[in-house]
Structure 1
């Protein structure tokens, strides 16, 4: 019997790649011929290439979809059109039975091309409200899966299902001892992990580094600062370990952490929830985003999983106060997290996607 094929797409940030990374091993184990369409500039090329070097990767043109005025708004539609044509040629060559889109700007031309090629498309929405890319993709999709139940009210009832979170199995295989050893830490103090996403966060980096002398009295600190944000002057500071970005070591570092300070991207916060890690969330401000992280963070706070500090209120003093509040709420927060349903496995998610293949 001829080997069946599936195309995955999504990129721009690690959040638009992580679910694809999670389900890829399951698809390969089931004997599917898996291909990936992304952009050459996005982080997806590096992440997929490193973890799955034998999976064919195709870079296509992709315009950014902006909600604000920019001269590039007049030229980027032509990039999207070029991307549609490139994706269409790839689809006709590869002949997939289904395409799965995790979102991000690069997914838009792929989803449009799939419709032209009469290939079913399944898309995934991680945030409380659909992102612009997925809003555009929605009319071309056979079905959309969501993490939040609240998202369903923003989508057509007949083609939307809430699956809950999907967590990579390797996340649960991390080891605290290995994470501590990787950083050169012991068990003498709790560990505070601060991360600003794959691209880093300047405001989070600054707030942490201004408070290092005070925080290091109580914590060991792991700082995922983002590419280009490593501070050489702090490299030798005892108890403080900074990394621009980590991949295979991340599960160990998450298990080593007692508390986490982070942005509020849905993929990350559901991973923290699955590991029962008390979290302080500093969502991207409405001025810097469409406000999706604010909704994610506020919902997690309402459910008792997180403390929230809005970016507009972020100062040296408020950061320190919020971290201390987080430590005070640890027992209560962990107890609440332990009552949540178990997340779906990648195998279960892959089965849901494959249900729509032609």
Structure 2
């Protein structure tokens, strides 16, 4: 039996591609292991797959700003590196697949030290900090955007497209309405600020709620510890995060208001959901979501509302404009090529494992 180890975490975006691939390897008889952080969201998500053994390691965060934790975290990373090295040496996997995030760096280096082949997946148009550190140690890099290949060594990278979880495509709108207590009387807006949420988006949605709820039903994924029980309105439902029911909620949604993380927006594209994207600012990130949003806007898949211009009024205007032109966005998304990225990544991983 061949063994594959997955790694990646810190946010749901660094786990979803792994969750899409894991069932395929289990179906083909592989033994599947996962190395993640001790308390990150990846541990919670992987726990839903009982066949996968989860190994927690110590990890720090790769910050771009001054913080007292920056002094402590290098020691956590070094500890995580020793833990990952010993785990890989003991488990002897045939191949390792990394989705990125700060937890992946010790695993990538541990794989290199053990001479275990490793494949990296980069979702965004430009590689993130963790992946930029990891790429020199990797056997190969899969990219979602074709432009990303131009930034990497051609013999080490392949454009595979977006890996979409199969269960996302199997949602049931009626089940979504039942889960949220919604009816068919009004269209549905799904608001997502990412697994960690967005205080600014949450605040503006709540300010806009009295006007939005007149025309729409709103399901609001607020992020960890950001549900406000005081805020209520007819046809308004809040959750911290939705996991198993997400395909049904997506199937129910007529519009999506979201950050511009690559994994999420490609899922919306696959489901032909008109989207209003509010990318993280450069002050909050390295600007990758801005590039993602601009790429989708250029293709005619979305409207973009930059956070610097985000108010309750601009949010309402953007949603109303998106809904009025929804048919145009759906038509443009229907023209996009739906490549089988999951099969391409699976084939490359098995190719590397054979070698």
What TM-score, normalized by structure 1, do the two folds share? 0.96
Matched-pair contact (CA < 8 Å) for 1:230–1:243:
yes
Cα distance between partner residues in 2 of 1:266 and 1:127: 6
What CA distance in whole angstroms lies between the structure 2 residues aligned with 1:253 and 1:137? 35
Question: How far did residue 345 of structure 1 move?
Answer: 5.3
Deviation at 1:329, TM superposition (A): 1.7
Contact 1:169-1:345 at 8 Å conserved across structures: no
C-alpha displacement at 1:77, in angstroms?
2.0
**Alignment of 1:8 onto 2:6:** yes
1:212 corresponds to 2:212: no
Residue in structure 1 matched with residue 313 of structure 2 by the alignment: 317
| Contact residue 32 and residue 51 of structure 2 kept, 8 A | no
CA distance in structure 1 between the aligned counterparts of 2:18 and 2:191, rounded to whole angstroms? 25
Q: Which residue of 2 aligns with 1:243?
A: 239
Give distance in 1, aligned partners of 2:201 and 2:229: 17
Aligned residues: 354
Match of 1:52 among 28, 49, 53: 49
1:21 matched to 2:2? The reply is: no
Shift of 1:252: 0.4
2:155 aligned counterpart, secondary structure: helix
| Alpha-carbon distance in 2 for matches of 1:238, 1:70 | 42
Structure 1 residue runs of 4 or more that deviate by more than 4 Å after TM superposition: none
Q: Deviations over 1:3-35 (max 9, x none)?
A: 111100000000000011111010011111110
Matches within 5 A, 1:141-180: 141-180=138-177
1:275 aligned residue: 271
Matches of 1:350 and 1:160, distance apart in 2: 15
User: Counterparts in 2 of 1:254-265, with a 5 A limit?
Assistant: 254-265=250-261
RMSD: 1.1
The answer to whether the 8 Å contact 2:36/2:55 transfers is: yes
Deviation at 1:187, TM superposition (A): 1.2
CA contact (8 A) 1:26 1:347 kept: no
What does residue 68 of structure 1 align with?
65
TM-score (norm 2): 0.97
C-alpha contact 1:274 1:343 (8 A) present in aligned 2: no
State the shift of 1:84 in Å: 1.1
Structure 2 residue aligned with 1:229: 226
**Which structure 2 residue ranges, 5 or more long, are not aligned?**
none
Cα deviation for residue 131 of structure 1 reads 0.2
**Partner Cα separation in structure 1 for residue 198 and residue 70 of structure 2:** 26
Structure 2 residue matching 1:223: 3-state secondary structure = strand
Gaps of 5+ in 1: none
Please list, as runs of the form range in 1=range in 2, the aligned pairs for 1:341-356 lying within 5 A after superposition: 341-344=337-340, 346-356=342-352
Looking at structure 2, the residues matched to 95 and 148 of structure 1 have their Cα atoms a distance apart, in angstroms, of 32
